[in-house]
Every structure is written in C-alpha cells, then in structure tokens.
Amino acid sequence: MIAFLTNVAPIALGFVAKLFALKSQAASENQKLMIQNLQARNDSINQARDRADKESPMAALNRRVIIFVILALIIFTQVAPVFFNVPTVIPTVTEGFSFFGIQFTPDIIDYIEIQAGSVLKMDEIFGWATMIIEFYFGAQLAKGK
C-alpha cells in the first residue's frame, strides 16, 4: 500500500500543480488581453479627440447655421399665423369607449380654432430642436478642451 501511495502521490501532486499553473497562465493571458483592449480603446478615444481638435472652421459654422435655422423655424411657427392671418386650429380628441381592446365607439377628433394672440407649442419641432442642440453640445464636450 505504501508503495502504491509513493507512486500515486507524485502523480496527483504534479496533476494539481499543473492545474494551478494552467489557471495562473490563463489569468495572466486574460489580464494581458484586457490591458491591450483598454489601450486600444484609449488610443481610439485619443484619435477621436485629435480629429475633433483639427476640425475645419466650416464644420463649426455648419453647426451654427443648423441651430439658427431651427430657432428661426420655431419662431416662424409662432408668428406666422399672426403675420399671414391664418387661423390656427388644434385637434382635440374625444376618446371613445373600448373594453379589453374591443372598440364600441370610435374616437372623435374636433378641431378648435384658437385666438390670434395665443401661443401654440409644436412638440415635433421642439423635439427635433432639443435633439440637434444636444448633439451639438455633445460634440463640444467630446473635444475635451
């Protein structure tokens, strides 16, 4: 029995030591790959910042023109009914009755004319304006300076 243990013990110990060595080697390779990944990401960010610093003055002018056009559209939609004497109407929806998705009475859409001095907010234009302005400021923040 002792002879069997003396023959098996070194084999088992070598097997366990080899498993630990393989685990350590895999962890080391994993760490190297992670460092390379972070370094590549950092290089990519630095390249993007370099390109943003070297952008042409026309790109900045482009963004400014887009913002001024959007602001002009917002102002125009507010003052156009007054200048062109166009009646402004807004849709109001009277919802019908439905039960578990079965519609018994349909929705009724009435158009109500509003007064000339009232302010009409158009959600679509404000949505586009905020999206483009956020994009502009996001591009400015990405420069890093």
Which phi and psi (to 5°) does residue 40 adopt? Answer: -65, -40
Distance of CA 22 to the CA centre of its chain: 42
Q: pLDDT of the chain along its 145 residues, tens only?
A: 777 777 778 888 888 888 888 899 999 999 999 999 999 999 888 888 777 667 677 877 887 888 888 888 878 877 777 788 777 778 888 888 888 878 888 888 888 887 765 656 677 777 877 877 787 777 666 665 5
Residue 121's pLDDT is 64
Query: Residue 49: its pLDDT value, please?
Result: 79
pLDDT at 77: 77
**Rg of the Cα trace of the chain?**
34
The predicted structure's pLDDT at residue 34: 93
Predicted pLDDT of residue 33: 92
Q: Which two tokens stand for residue 132?
A: 């483009």
- CA dist 23 and 11 (Å) reads 18
**pLDDT at residue 6, as a whole number:** 76
Nearest CA to 122 out of 85, 65, 73 is that of 73
Sign of CA dihedral 20, 26, 28, 30: negative
